[in-house]
Amino acid sequence: MNSLNSGLFSNATFVRPLFFYINGLSNIPHVKYYYIFLCCVYAVTVLGNSFIMFIIYLEHSLHTAKYVAVFNLAVVDMCGSTALIPKLIDSFLFDSQFITYEACLANMFFVLFFSSLQSLTLVVLAYDRFVAICFPLKYHIIISTNKIMVIIAVIWTFAATVVFIAVGLITRLSFCKSTVVDSYFCDHGPVYRLACNNNFPNVIMATICMMMILLAPLALISLSYTYIIFALLKTASIEGCLKAMKTCTSHLILVAVFYLPISATYIAAITTTLHPNARIINTSLSSAIPPMLNPIIYTFKTEEIIDVIRRRYKRNKLIIPIVTAPSITSTFPH
């Protein structure tokens, strides 16, 4: 490892390594089974999110503001998994945990960028549910497809800017000691902690990112559902409340699947001594599992998508006999 980093771009005070060594999963017993599991997770993620995007693209009744946000979530989930899991599989298959300095920064940017977009897209979906339930008569005035597309463009720009600043600050760090990253990818925290010079700006930026990308979205989602519950209790019967909340079921499950594992890992790390292997497994699962589950949850917990699938299935059953009938009859002489 030292020989690989013997060619360093350096001067008297600054050292930039040619390579980092990703150490996260190499110390975990029977790790090959975990890699196989991640490979299966990635396959299901790609198939599931491709299916959701395909259904929304084909079905004109789903070309609404809500499903523009759902389509965006599917794109983000697939891109986020692609930024993370194939690199892990590549490291396992070719037994190479080394990654160049530039590739490390690129890997860090894309993984954090798409993770941030997952969080922010859940806020957009919460906003859609908030307006639909609290202001049903003004829903189509407040929320339209064009407005949602503008909001999505804003959150993409915002996430890219915040993550770009966080990753850009890594370039001011000098790595004159270890280049071993104790994570399963070029994670922001484990990388800046390796620096020999002052990493205080990186610590501040990491805190800002956590507040703006994780805590603030979770607070906004919680606040929106608080308003939804109070609005329903004031205006609707118990049956009406249950019917309205049923439309939020899929979104609430997505929120729980995304935020609970991450929050549990952070709380465990703060309150107890968390074993490094446990932290790495928990955080890697928190990154890999939600993109796999999101399309499954939306397929089975959203009535509009279930209805579309049923209609298309029935339509295909009717088309097949019509298409095959002439080919059968034409084989007989007239």
User: Measuring CA to CA, which residue among 19, 6, 13 is closest to residue 196?
Assistant: 13
Of residues 42 and 272, more confidence is placed in 42
Residue 44 domain flag: yes
Which phi-psi region, left, alpha or beta, contains residue 28 (left: φ > 0; alpha: ψ -120 to 50)? beta
Exposure string of 45-63, with b = 16+ CB inside 10 Å and e = fewer, is bbebbebbbebbeebeebe
Q: Which of 16-20, 194-198, 276-280 has the lowest mean pLDDT?
A: 276-280
Residue 318 is predicted with a pLDDT of 64
| Count of structural domains within the chain | 1
- Other CB atoms closer than 10 Å to residue 249's CB: what's the count? 12
CA distance 116 to 214: 8
Residue 334 domain flag: no
Residue 4 domain flag: no
What secondary structure, in 3-state letters, does 16-35 show? ECCEEEECCCCCCCCHHHHH
Direct distance between the N- and C-terminal alpha carbons of the chain, in angstroms, rounded to an integer: 80
Q: Which residues contact 128 (CB under 8 A, 6 or more apart)?
A: 65, 66, 69, 143, 148
Of residues 238 and 135, more confidence is placed in 135
- Other CB atoms closer than 10 Å to residue 265's CB: what's the count? 19
Q: Which of 18-22, 66-70, 125-129, 282-286 has the lowest mean pLDDT?
A: 282-286
3-state SS assignment for residue 113: helix
Write down how long the chain is: 334
This prediction's pTM: 0.89
Q: Which residues contact 261 (CB under 8 A, 6 or more apart)?
A: 282, 285, 286, 289
CATH number for the domain that contains residue 307: 1.20.1070.10
C-alpha pair distances (Å), 70 with each of 48, 75, 119: 13, 9, 13
CA distance 148 to 128: 9
Instruction: Judge whether residue 9 has pLDDT over 90.
Output: no
Residue 267 is predicted with a pLDDT of 81
Residue 332 domain flag: no
What burial class does residue 215 get, using C-beta atoms within 10 Å of its C-beta: 0-12 exposed, 13-18 middle, 19+ buried?
middle
C-alpha pair distances (Å), 53 with each of 68, 158, 221, 224, 288: 10, 24, 24, 27, 19
Kindly indicate the confidence band of residue 319, based on its pLDDT and cuts at 50, 70 and 90: low
CA distance 6 to 3: 5
Residue 215 domain flag: yes
User: In which domain, by residue range, is 241 found?
Assistant: 9-327
Let me know the angle formed at the C-alpha of 326 by 324 and 328, rounded to the nearest 5 degrees.
Answer: 70
Q: 85-108: per-residue pLDDT in tens? A: 999 888 888 878 899 999 999 999
Residue 242 is predicted with a pLDDT of 82
Residue 87 domain flag: yes
